[in-house]
């Protein structure tokens, strides 16, 4: 058995429970609470004339009353997990409807006991301060302003409450207002308000808002009482505009208060408190958060929830970093560090009361109840040991200057830094960071820009002799600096974090002027030029926070396929991010004449409008630079949706720059052989990817099938098929009902043809596909090595535009009708086919006739059919068949390549 602790340390409180049927015993030291049926109470440890640990006592309410003589007598305030504390800020209490929403949230919390702290309705505290200000400066418009305050609350109450509660509230409001009127009148006459007068006045906003809320909660029938925290919270001034809570006295008063009104829900005023002498005062800045934290600690609450109008604490200022994310957890220290850097987190002193009892604070959005918010607690548990997760947030401070004091006379001379900083102190400057190298030849520190002139002057005076004698070589000021700070508790125990940070800064070409890291390692601070600051912030933030499969995409050629792709992306990006952690950002779109550039990603729901509104003259070199010089996104991709040979000629350079290339454009792979080989050699030697599935059979898996066969060691013997969606469509539909030229126009209309339909009819497009597959299979062929039977009449080859060609085509309809007839008479159909004879190293493209029962004769629409005959697929070829042209399927094939890239880069499958 454990030794029994000294008597004095253990006190027990006994009292009949609320129902009167049980007796409750609590050991004040061990905080053991017991609610037990009468007659079988096992009391916690105690000593002296009290029962010892574990001994049985027969207790009745009467016995409990008797034992009051034996133990410390106290009214009973339960403490611990049954309590949940909520604080609602001014915006949450802004309108009657919002106050009702607050009441609903309170009632929706299933905790056994709830303590609700509220701020004044939004703007009211400012109005109250202005009343005091006006009265003491003898501006008698304070009376009208007081009327406005009255009307605002009366209107809100009438909206929210009814019956007796409304009447009660209004009568209290009336009496408060008339008291205030008298007090303000006194201030007006005196032309002066003492601090306690003005504190008394300004605290009324909380009195009214909390009363309204408490009545609104009561409306539902819940047991709820209202607490004026001036009766409970006792504070003492601890500095200008600062107070310290007196926990012991406050706890006593809270217990006393509770014994009188032990409701399950208590709605209390935030912000206000009183001194030990019972003079009303306030908790000053961020007072209501502080109230909630103090009360949370007094009742040892399970949790304190601070309700506000943001989803939680961001990883960086979202106005500067659009990729900033809401942090799910933060340690107390991290929250501290971040609030120092002006992040909109809790005031550090708010954290102190709850920290000692490890009570978590949760920041939640009243206007987005589905957001889980940010939990601020001890060391957040169950975080993976991911290096990147060590840094919780980034913050910056602008408008700083760096002061550098340098000279050999500093090394090994005690007192130099003391002399420097006492000079700084004399001019009242605030030192924001300090850094000194261990050689001691220089010491540098950052101060606000507006204070640096005075600091520099003071240092020159202080070190005049040392400077003259050369012991100090200079006191130098570097203007226009900023601080970038990385905050994270686990940086301390994780090697490599600073390496990642500095690597990100180096890649963004940012020069670091000074560095500081405290031994606590909660924070790494770097000083840089202010002009680099946002870029540095974004580069560092993205390095730690962006998914590794974030793709920054530049789309070239928003024509039929490009536009369709952009629309498919628009509909799918959110889903990809949610389900696969793939973050796709289109950061540029360029057509032939204009281009649109974006830092963070074009809004794909309105890319066309943006393209019209924001676009600049197109310039491919600048477009590519925009992508390659971005330092935020880890992966860059150019998607070429043109049919342009010139665009295709740049792939080599882009891949060399580390930009991945994805395209449905056949020009690169079917262009000059030496260029093609050079491109593929580069690609194979690098980790930059080049995908072009849509160049053959559009979205059909032709290239990937062929690769799969080759890479697993199969031998390709022959590839043959119908490779042109356009020509497939034309011959599938040229059945004697419409003229040849009409069917061609239909194919163009349906989006199957190349921008110039002659590329299809001439067989060139099919020849390109044959070449692409031949080269993929290892043949070294040029386009000119492929004999092609052109369907473009000799006379139309010289037409200057696709339109002219389409206009003249009907004059050849007769010829086509005759050919079709002849085939039909023989029980055959016309089909335009391409073939790669791998064994003999040859390819061909020609118009052929097939029997009606041949698989090639069975196609419909724009179907392609491709048959691979290989050593493994010898008896029966492997056949891929389906629509091989058209906007949706082609763009889908390009999209597929984008996702293939993401999975190569490590996206989950």
Ligand X SMILES: NC(=O)c1ccc[n+]([C@@H]2O[C@H](COP(=O)([O-])OP(=O)(O)OC[C@H]3O[C@@H](n4cnc5c(N)ncnc54)[C@H](O)[C@@H]3O)[C@@H](O)[C@H]2O)c1
State which of positions 725-744 bind ligand HSE (CB under 6 A): 725-726
Q: Binds 726, which of ligand HSE, Na ion, ligand X, none (CB < 5 to 8 A, cut-off by type)? A: ligand HSE
Tell me which residue has tokens 């912030």.
537
Round to whole Å and give the CA distance between 756 and 566: 23
- Each as own residue / partner, the long-range contacts of residues 37-41 (CB below 8 Å, 24 or more positions apart, any chain) are none
Q: Does 885 bind ligand HSE (CB under 6 A)?
A: yes
Q: Specify the stretch interacting with Na ion by CB under 5 A; choose among 415-423, 644-652, 693-701, 803-811.
A: 693-701
| 3-state SS assignment for residue 33 | strand
Of 698, 709, 791, 845, the one binding ligand HSE by CB under 6 A: 698
Q: Specify the stretch interacting with Na ion by CB under 5 A; choose among 1-9, 262-270, 309-317, 698-706.
A: 698-706
Asked whether the beta carbons of 434 and 471 are under 8 A apart, the reply is: no
Instruction: Enter the tokens of residue 432.
Output: 């924001």
Q: Binds 560, which of ligand HSE, ligand X, Na ion, none (CB < 5 to 8 A, cut-off by type)? A: ligand X
Round to whole Å and give the CA distance between 553 and 587: 6
- No. of helices (H) and no. of strands (E), the chain: 31, 35
Residue 527 pairs in a beta bridge with 483, 514
Tell me which residue has tokens 């030029």.
529
320 given a catalytic annotation: no
Q: Which is nearer to ligand HSE, 752 or 856 (CB)?
A: 752
Q: Specify the stretch interacting with ligand HSE by CB under 6 A; choose among 55-63, 438-446, 489-497, 750-758.
A: 750-758
State which of positions 752-791 bind ligand HSE (CB under 6 A): 752-754, 760, 765
Q: Which is nearer to ligand HSE, 150 or 723 (CB)?
A: 723
* Total binding residues toward ligand HSE, as defined by CB under 6 A: 11
Q: Specify the stretch interacting with ligand HSE by CB under 6 A; choose among 466-474, 496-504, 701-709, 747-755.
A: 747-755
CB of 742 to ligand X, least distance (A): 20
Q: In what order do the strands lie in the sheet with 303-308?
A: 224-227, 265-269, 113-118, 83-88, 303-308, 361-365, 374-377, 329-331
CB of 835 to Na ion, least distance (A): 18
CB of 649 to ligand X, least distance (A): 10
Rg over CA atoms, the chain: 39
Q: Binds 641, which of Na ion, ligand X, ligand HSE, none (CB < 5 to 8 A, cut-off by type)? A: ligand X
CB of 441 to ligand X, least distance (A): 56
Q: Which is nearer to ligand HSE, 246 or 760 (CB)?
A: 760
User: Alpha helices, DSSP H only, in 591-634?
Assistant: 607-614, 620-628
Q: Does 724 bind ligand HSE (CB under 6 A)?
A: yes
Q: Which is nearer to ligand X, 203 or 562 (CB)?
A: 562
CB of 769 to Na ion, least distance (A): 9
CB of 608 to ligand HSE, least distance (A): 23
Q: Binds 702, which of ligand X, ligand HSE, Na ion, none (CB < 5 to 8 A, cut-off by type)? A: Na ion
CB of 816 to ligand HSE, least distance (A): 18
If one counts every other C-beta atom within 10 angstroms of the C-beta of residue 461, the result is 10
Q: Of 428, 483, 476, which Cα lies nearest the Cα of 456?
A: 476
CB of 862 to ligand HSE, least distance (A): 7
Q: Which is nearer to Na ion, 478 or 878 (CB)?
A: 878
- x/- mask, ligand HSE, residues 219-258, rule CB under 6 A, reads ----------------------------------------
Q: Specify the stretch interacting with Na ion by CB under 5 A; choose among 136-144, 145-153, 688-696, 706-714.
A: 688-696
Q: Which is nearer to ligand X, 556 or 845 (CB)?
A: 556
User: What sign for the dihedral angle of Cα 214, 216, 217, 219?
Assistant: positive
CB of 722 to ligand HSE, least distance (A): 9
Q: How many CA atoms lie within 13 A of 640 on its CB side?
A: 29
Antiparallel, parallel or unpaired: β 474-487 and 329-331: unpaired
Q: Does 395 bind Na ion (CB under 5 A)?
A: no
CB of 614 to ligand X, least distance (A): 17
Instruction: Enter the tokens of residue 855.
Output: 């698989």
Name the burial class of residue 189, with classes exposed (0-12), middle (13-18) and buried (19+) by CB atoms within 10 angstroms of its CB: exposed
Q: Specify the stretch interacting with ligand HSE by CB under 6 A; choose among 11-19, 240-248, 301-309, 749-757.
A: 749-757
Q: Which is nearer to ligand X, 183 or 556 (CB)?
A: 556
**Which candidate in 356, 769, 808, 874 is catalytic?**
769
DSSP secondary structure letters along 837-883: ETTTTEEEEEEEEEETTSGGGG--TTEEEEEEEESSSSSS-EEEEEE
Q: Specify the stretch interacting with Na ion by CB under 5 A; choose among 81-89, 517-525, 700-708, 778-786.
A: 700-708
Q: Binds 303, which of ligand X, Na ion, ligand HSE, none (CB < 5 to 8 A, cut-off by type)? A: none
Q: Of 478, 475, 526, 529, which Cα lies nearest the Cα of 503?
A: 526
Q: In what order do the strands lie in the sheet with 442-448?
A: 433-436, 442-448, 393-406, 474-487, 523-529, 512-517
Q: Which is nearer to ligand HSE, 173 or 744 (CB)?
A: 744
DSSP secondary structure letters along 299-363: TT-SEEEEEESSSS-BSS-TTT-TT--B-SEEEHHHHHHHHHTT-SS--HHHHHHHHTTT--EEE
Q: Which is nearer to Na ion, 251 or 693 (CB)?
A: 693
CB-based contacts of 199: which residues, under 8 Å, 6+ apart?
272, 280, 281, 282
3-state DSSP helix/strand/coil percent for the chain, to nearest 5?
A: 45, 20, 35
Q: Which is nearer to ligand HSE, 488 or 893 (CB)?
A: 893
Round to whole Å and give the CA distance between 404 and 406: 6
Round to whole Å and give the CA distance between 663 and 837: 26
Q: Which is nearer to Na ion, 634 or 701 (CB)?
A: 701
Of 94, 558, 697, 763, the one binding Na ion by CB under 5 A: 697
Phi first, then psi: what are they for 265, rounded to 5°? -120, 130
CB of 698 to ligand HSE, least distance (A): 5
Q: Binds 760, which of ligand HSE, ligand X, Na ion, none (CB < 5 to 8 A, cut-off by type)? A: ligand HSE
Q: Binds 559, which of Na ion, ligand X, ligand HSE, none (CB < 5 to 8 A, cut-off by type)? A: ligand X
Q: Which is nearer to ligand HSE, 199 or 760 (CB)?
A: 760
Q: What are the residues binding ligand X (CB under 6 A)?
A: 556-562, 590-592, 641-644, 646-647, 664-666, 694, 698, 725, 751-752, 754-755, 885-886, 890
Q: Binds 693, which of ligand HSE, ligand X, Na ion, none (CB < 5 to 8 A, cut-off by type)? A: Na ion
| 3-state SS assignment for residue 41 | strand
Of 702, 747, 774, 809, the one binding Na ion by CB under 5 A: 702
Asked whether the beta carbons of 534 and 600 are under 8 A apart, the reply is: no
Antiparallel, parallel or unpaired: β 616-617 and 523-529: unpaired
Q: Which is nearer to ligand HSE, 273 or 836 (CB)?
A: 836
Residue sitting closest to Na ion (CB): 697
Round to whole Å and give the CA distance between 711 and 870: 13
Round to whole Å and give the CA distance between 271 and 284: 7
CB of 592 to ligand X, least distance (A): 4
Q: Binds 700, which of ligand HSE, ligand X, Na ion, none (CB < 5 to 8 A, cut-off by type)? A: Na ion
- List active site positions: 769
Write out the residues near Na ion by the rule CB under 5 A.
693, 697, 700, 702
Write out the residues near ligand HSE by the rule CB under 6 A.
698, 724-726, 752-754, 760, 765, 884-885
């Amino acid at each position: 058995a454990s030794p029994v602790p000294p008597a004095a340390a253990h006190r027990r409180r006994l009292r009949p429970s609320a129902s009167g049927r049980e007796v409750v015993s609590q050991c004040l030291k061990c905080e053991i609470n017991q609610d037990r049926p009468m007659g079988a109470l096992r009391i916690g440890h105690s000593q002296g004339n009290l029962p010892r640990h574990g001994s049985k006592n027969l207790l009745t309410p009467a016995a409990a009353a008797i034992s009051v003589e034996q133990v410390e007598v106290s009214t009973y305030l339960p403490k611990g997990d049954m309590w949940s504390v909520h604080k609602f800020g001014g915006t949450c209490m802004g309108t009657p409807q919002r106050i009702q929403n607050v009441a609903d949230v309170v009632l929706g919390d299933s905790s056994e006991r709830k303590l609700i702290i509220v701020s004044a309705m939004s703007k009211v505290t400012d109005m109250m301060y202005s009343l005091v200000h006006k009265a003491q400066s003898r501006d008698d418009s304070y009376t009208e302003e007081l009327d406005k305050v009255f009307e605002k609350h009366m209107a809100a109450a009438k909206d929210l409450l009814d019956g007796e509660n409304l009447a009660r509230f209004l009568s209290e409001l009336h009496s408060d207002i008339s008291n205030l009127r008298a007090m303000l009148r006194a201030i007006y006459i005196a032309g002066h308000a003492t601090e306690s007068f003005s504190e008394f006045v300004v605290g009324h906003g909380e009195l009214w808002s909390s009363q309204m809320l408490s009545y609104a909660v009561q409306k539902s029938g819940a047991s709820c009482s209202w607490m004026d925290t001036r009766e409970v919270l006792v504070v003492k001034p601890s500095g200008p505009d600062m107070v310290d809570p007196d926990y012991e006295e406050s706890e006593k008063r809270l217990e006393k208060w509770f014994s009188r009104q032990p409701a399950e829900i208590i709605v209390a005023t935030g912000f206000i408190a009183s001194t030990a002498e019972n003079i009303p005062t306030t908790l000053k800045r961020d007072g209501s958060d502080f109230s909630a934290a103090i009360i949370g600690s007094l009742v040892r609450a399970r949790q304190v929830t601070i309700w506000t109008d943001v989803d939680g604490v961001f990883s960086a200022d979202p106005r500067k970093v659009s990729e900033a994310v809401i942090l799910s957890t933060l340690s107390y220290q991290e929250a501290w560090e971040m609030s120092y850097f002006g992040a909109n987190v809790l005031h550090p002193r708010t954290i102190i009361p709850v920290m000692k009892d490890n009570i978590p604070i949760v920041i939640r959005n009243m206007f987005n109840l589905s957001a889980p918010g940010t939990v601020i607690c001890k060391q957040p548990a169950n975080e993976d040991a991911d290096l990147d997760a060590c840094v919780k947030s980034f913050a910056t401070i602008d408008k700083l200057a760096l002061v550098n004091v340098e000279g050999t006379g500093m090394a090994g001379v005690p007192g130099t830094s003391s002399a420097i900083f006492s000079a700084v102190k004399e001019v009242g400057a605030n030192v924001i960071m300090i850094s000194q190298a261990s050689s001691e030849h220089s010491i540098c520190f950052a101060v606000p820009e507006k204070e640096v002139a005075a600091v520099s002057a003071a240092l020159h005076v202080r070190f005049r002799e040392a400077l003259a004698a050369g012991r100090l070589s200079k006191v130098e000021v570097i203007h226009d600096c900023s601080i970038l700070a990385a905050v994270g508790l686990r940086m301390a125990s994780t090697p490599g974090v600073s390496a990642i940070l500095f690597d990100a800064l180096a890649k963004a070409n940012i020069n670091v002027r000074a560095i500081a890291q405290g031994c606590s390692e909660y924070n790494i601070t770097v000083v840089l030029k202010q002009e680099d600051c946002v870029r540095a912030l974004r580069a560092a933030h993205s390095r730690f926070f962006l998914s590794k499969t974030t793709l920054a995409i530049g789309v070239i050629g928003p024509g039929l396929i490009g536009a369709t792709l952009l629309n498919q992306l628009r509909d799918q990006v959110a889903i990809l991010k949610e389900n696969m952690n793939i973050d796709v950002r289109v950061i540029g779109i360029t057509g032939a004449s204009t281009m649109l550039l974006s830092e963070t990603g074009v809004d794909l729901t309105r890319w066309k409008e943006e393209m019209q509104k924001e676009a600049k003259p197109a310039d491919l070199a600048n477009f590519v630079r925009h992508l390659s010089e971005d330092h935020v996104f880890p992966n860059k991709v150019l998607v070429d949706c043109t049919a342009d040979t010139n665009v295709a000629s740049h792939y080599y350079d882009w891949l060399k720059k580390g930009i991945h290339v994805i395209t449905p454009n056949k020009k690169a792979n079917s262009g000059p052989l030496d260029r093609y080989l050079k491109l593929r050699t580069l690609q194979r030697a690098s980790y930059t990817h080049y995908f072009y599935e849509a160049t053959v059979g559009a979205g059909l898996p032709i290239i990937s099938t062929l690769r799969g066969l080759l890479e697993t060691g199969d031998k390709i013997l022959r590839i043959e098929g119908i490779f042109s969606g356009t020509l497939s469509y034309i011959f599938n539909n040229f059945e004697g009902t419409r003229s040849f030229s009409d069917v061609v126009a239909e194919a163009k209309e349906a989006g199957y043809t190349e921008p110039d339909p002659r590329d299809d009819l001439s067989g060139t497009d099919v020849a390109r596909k044959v070449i692409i597959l031949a080269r993929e299979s290892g043949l070294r062929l040029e386009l000119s090595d492929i004999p092609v039977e052109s369907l473009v009449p000799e006379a139309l080859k010289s037409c200057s535009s696709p339109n002219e060609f389409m206009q003249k085509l009907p004059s050849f309809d007769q010829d086509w009708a005759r050919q079709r007839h002849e085939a039909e008479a023989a029980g055959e159909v016309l089909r335009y086919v391409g073939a790669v004879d791998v064994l003999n190293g040859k390819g061909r493209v020609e118009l052929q006739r097939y029997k009606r029962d041949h698989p090639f004769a069975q196609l419909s629409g724009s179907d392609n059919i491709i048959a691979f005959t290989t050593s493994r697929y010898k008896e029966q070829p492997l056949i891929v068949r389906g629509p091989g042209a058209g906007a949706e399927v082609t763009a889908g094939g390009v999209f597929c390549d984008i996702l293939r890239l993401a999975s190569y880069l490590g996206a989950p499958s």
